[in-house]
Every structure is written in C-alpha cells, then in structure tokens.
Amino acid sequence: MTKTRIAAVDVGNDSIKAIFGELEHELNIPNIVARDTEDRPVIGVEELNDKNPLDGIHIKVHSPALKENNAVYRVGHLATKSSNATELDPGSSKSEEDQTLVMLFTTLALDAVREENANIFPRAKNVVDANYTLGTGLPLREVKEGKDVGYRSKLVGSVHQVEFLVTPKYQGLKVNIKFNEVKVYPEGFAAYINLVMDNNLKIINKDLIDKRILIQDIGGLSTDIAVIKNRNVDDDKAQGFNLGVSESLESIREEIRSKHGVELDSRRDVVEIITRKNDRNHIMVKGSRTSVHDITDRILLELAKKQYRLLRNVWQKNSQTEICYFVGGGSNVLKEYIKTLNNGLDGYNIEFFEDEKESIWMMANAYYKLITDFVMKTEKQKAVKEPVKS
Ligand SMILES: Nc1ncnc2c1ncn2[C@@H]1O[C@H](COP(=O)(O)OP(=O)(O)OP(=O)(O)O)[C@@H](O)[C@H]1O
Ligand SMILES: [Mg+2]
C-alpha cells in the first residue's frame, strides 16, 4: 500500500506556511513567483550545492490543474530578485490563480525530496512518488461562493509534477504529487478551531467556545474579520478587506531610503526593526545609531487607525460580540498601536497573542489539527469495518 503523509498548508498572500508529518518539518516560503521563459536561466551554478534550496527554487510544473501547464518559475526568495515577479493581487481569487497551485505544489515537493522521507516515498532514479493527505484553506468569501469544491477536485483528480531545475541540492529531481485526500477549510473557521481546541481536538478553552467572538486576521495584503456564533462561522457577517500591512512596510522602507539613504533588503527587514526586543526602531546610518521612530510611528499609526475603523464597523453590526482576537503577522506589527487607540477610544474587549509565531502560524496550526483529526477518525472507521482477521 502506498504511504501518505500529512500536510497542512496555509497559502497566505504574503507567505506560505506548511506543517508536515508528525510536526517534524515545517516550511515558510514567501508567496512570490516569476515566470521564466527559458529552462536554463543565468544563475550562478558554480557554488549551487553549497546554497540553501529555499534560496534558489527554480522549477517547472506539469499539472492539468494549471491554466498554464509546463511553465518554468522562480519561486520565493529567488523570485524577489526578478523584475517580472508577481505577488497575488488582493482582488483576485486564491482558488483560481495558478500562483496558488504553483506555491502549493512547490512546498509539497520541497518536503517530499528530503532524504528523511526516502522511506515513505519511493524513489526511482530521479523521480520521487509522493502522496499527501492535505489540509488547507480558502478565504471565507471563496468558500461561500462554492469555489472550494472546484479547487479540491482539481487537486485530487490528477498527478502534479514539480521538476527541480537549477535548484541547489535538488537539481534534476522530479516529484510526482498525488493526493490521498484533500480538505479545504474556510480560513475564519480554522482560526476559531485553533483557539478553542488542542492537537487532539479536545476543547482547551471552555470559556470561549460558546461566546460570540470576532477574529480579525491582518495579513500581508488583506484583512479578514470572521464572526463566530453558536460554534460556527456566521457566513453572512464575515468580511474581507483589501487592506494588509505590506503596503505600510513598503512605505517605511521607502522613507528610510529617502531620508537616511539606507537601503533595506526587504519588508522582512522592516518587520525586524519595528518588532525586535533590543534597539527597536533604530538603524545604523554610516555607523551611527539612528532613530527611525518618527517614520514607523506615523505610518503604522495610520494603518492601525484604518484597522480600528474596520473593527468598529463590524462590531457595530454584531453588537453582542464578547471579544475580538487579533491574529496574523499584521496584528503582531500593529499590536501596541491598536491597543493604545482602543484604550483612548471605545475600549473594546480585544486580545492579541504574545507569541508572534502563534499569531502567524494560526491557520497552518488549525489545518493541522483538523486534518490529523480527520485521519484519525477515518482510521478508526476502517478498523471497525475491517476487523483484524484471526
Ligand atoms: N515575526 C514575523 N515574521 C514574519 N513576518 C512578519 C512577522 N511579524 C509581522 N510580519 C509581517 O506580517 C505580514 C503578514 O503576514 P502573514 O503571514 O499574516 O500574512 P499572510 O497570511 O501571508 O497574508 P494574507 O493573510 O493577506 O493572505 C507580512 O507582511 C510580514 O512581513
Ligand atoms: Mg493569512
């Protein structure tokens, strides 16, 4: 019998978060791809094998699920350096974009090719046959429109192949991905599950389970507010907004460049500067420690105000709400600003997560809980149906 491996994958607009197997492997890859017109671009192949595969993901994807089959892509960090890189457009539908699938397949392939998995997935020459039991999600809006059904059937119906081209360590390997099962959960609901249940889906938060709660997920490009009532997501009340934190991080980077002449490599560097424990909001300019607090404060406060307005709006429409949880990387960045605003204004009962990882990995953790629970239940059913022959 073919072995299957559990994968819980959150395809965020900003980055993919994935958890595998028995929690022994995880991946976080920026959601950014660039099309390559040729199979062999000029990449410094010389020291290829000293490099981290994640810094040089260069692949060709064969899959009937794609609108553009057999295309070549640079993915993640490598794509950042390309001029034609694309990030997901906030107005688009995750379930209908090739980029979502390319990122998903790439992530699974990167797990499948690891030497540690050679005993699970058979290898013949340079081909790995991988089989996954996948838990993933789509924005509530798309699930409401029924797009999860088509998305799921695109995945389960066929074999998807990722071919590693000029990728460190894995060059020349091909991974055939099949799915044993795919579950597509609505994002807001998943966050709720993660809040109230542990890894065995035992209730860990009795107080919370029957409350009316809001979950405001501030991501890279979008903000979703889920409304939970009667242990369920209220589909009609949930709202999505095309407002994330990436744009503000980019403005901060831009202003630091124009004011101090310092070029930060990425938005990630900005996050580091504004969230680190020591020397927060300071950079080095020509060797002198310099404050950029004026810049970060103004831009982040502006965004926090907008986020607070969204909260206020949704809370007004759901007046019996008892608490709102802020999750997502954006909440991590805006925490102090939103708290301060709230203290001076409406004084809503709001809560943030101390641990930034908990906030960012919320969805992936939830999918992991849901998919492992599903696997356990089906195994139990099988055991009942097919008792061990004596
Ligand atoms: N500790 C952190 N590590 C990584 N990114 C962080 C961190 N704290 C804040 N961020 C920033 O938070 C933003 C949102 O990250 P998050 O992972 O929640 O978005 P996403 O889920 O990929 O996007 P979306 O929810 O829009 O689909 C990113 O721009 C990221 O740079
Ligand atoms: Mg997200």
Q: Does residue 138 have a pLDDT over 60?
A: yes
CA distances from 40 to 33, 34, 57, 172, 334 (A): 16, 14, 13, 12, 42
Residue 28 Cβ inside 6 Å of ligand 1? The answer reads no
Residue 250 Cβ inside 6 Å of ligand 1? The answer reads no
- Distance, CA of 269 to CA of 120 (rounded, Å): 38
Q: Does residue 135 have a pLDDT over 60?
A: yes
Residue 276 Cβ inside 6 Å of ligand 1? The answer reads no
Q: Does residue 3 have a pLDDT over 80?
A: yes
- Distance, CA of 36 to CA of 78 (rounded, Å): 12
Least confident piece of the model among 37-41, 42-46, 115-119, 374-378:
42-46
User: Is 21 domain-assigned?
Assistant: yes
User: Is 379 domain-assigned?
Assistant: no
User: Is 161 domain-assigned?
Assistant: yes
- Distance, CA of 231 to CA of 123 (rounded, Å): 45
- Confidence band (pLDDT; 50, 70, 90) for 332? very high
- Confidence band (pLDDT; 50, 70, 90) for 89? low
Residue 247 Cβ inside 6 Å of ligand 1? The answer reads no
Q: Give how far the C-alpha of residue 230 lies from the chain's centroid of Cα atoms, to the nearest Å.
A: 27
Residue 245 Cβ inside 6 Å of ligand 1? The answer reads yes
Mean pLDDT for all residues in the chain: 91
Which two structure tokens, joined as six digits, stand for 116? 């540690």
For the residues 170-175, what does the mean pLDDT come to? 96
- Confidence band (pLDDT; 50, 70, 90) for 272? very high
Number of domains forming the structure of the chain:
1
Position with higher pLDDT, 347 vs 241: 347
Domain of 45, in residue numbers: 5-185
CA dihedral sign, ordered 335, 338, 340, 342: negative
Q: Does residue 389 have a pLDDT over 60?
A: no
Report which of 146, 153, 299, 143 is spatially closest to residue 232, judged by C-alpha positions. Answer: 143
| 35-50 residue pLDDT tens | 987 655 555 555 566 6
Q: Does residue 185 have a pLDDT over 90?
A: yes
- Confidence band (pLDDT; 50, 70, 90) for 168? very high
Q: Does residue 234 have a pLDDT over 90?
A: no
Residue 332 Cβ inside 6 Å of ligand 1? The answer reads yes
| Site to substitute for ligand 1 among 32, 87, 271, most atoms within 8 A of C-beta | 271
User: Is 44 domain-assigned?
Assistant: yes
User: Is 144 domain-assigned?
Assistant: yes
User: Residue 258 gets which letter from DSSP?
Assistant: H
User: Is 220 domain-assigned?
Assistant: no
Nearest CA residue ID for atom 6, ligand 1: 329
From the CA of 361, the nearest ligand is 1
Nearest CA residue ID for atom 11, ligand 1: 329
Q: Does residue 154 have a pLDDT over 80?
A: yes
| Site to substitute for ligand 1 among 15, 249, 265, 267, most atoms within 8 A of C-beta | 15
User: Is 101 domain-assigned?
Assistant: yes
Q: What is the pLDDT of residue 1?
A: 64
- Confidence band (pLDDT; 50, 70, 90) for 381? confident
For the residues 244-265, what does the mean pLDDT come to? 94
Report which of 328, 372, 327, 357 is spatially closest to residue 23, judged by C-alpha positions. Answer: 372
Q: What is the pLDDT of residue 205?
A: 85
Q: What is the pLDDT of residue 333?
A: 94
For the residues 184-203, what does the mean pLDDT come to? 87
Whole-model pTM over 0.75: yes
Which two structure tokens, joined as six digits, stand for 249? 């991080």
Give me the CATH number covering residue 151. Answer: 3.30.420.40
For the residues 381-385, what does the mean pLDDT come to? 82
- Ligand 2 geometric centre to CA of 126 (Å): 35
Residue 268 Cβ inside 6 Å of ligand 1? The answer reads yes
User: Is 168 domain-assigned?
Assistant: yes
Q: Does residue 149 have a pLDDT over 90?
A: yes
CA dihedral sign, ordered 375, 17, 95, 155: negative
Written as one letter, the residue type at 283 is: I
279 dihedral zone (left: phi>0; alpha: psi -120 to 50; beta): left
Residue 94 Cβ inside 6 Å of ligand 1? The answer reads no
Q: Are 170 and 113 in contact (CB under 8 A)?
A: yes
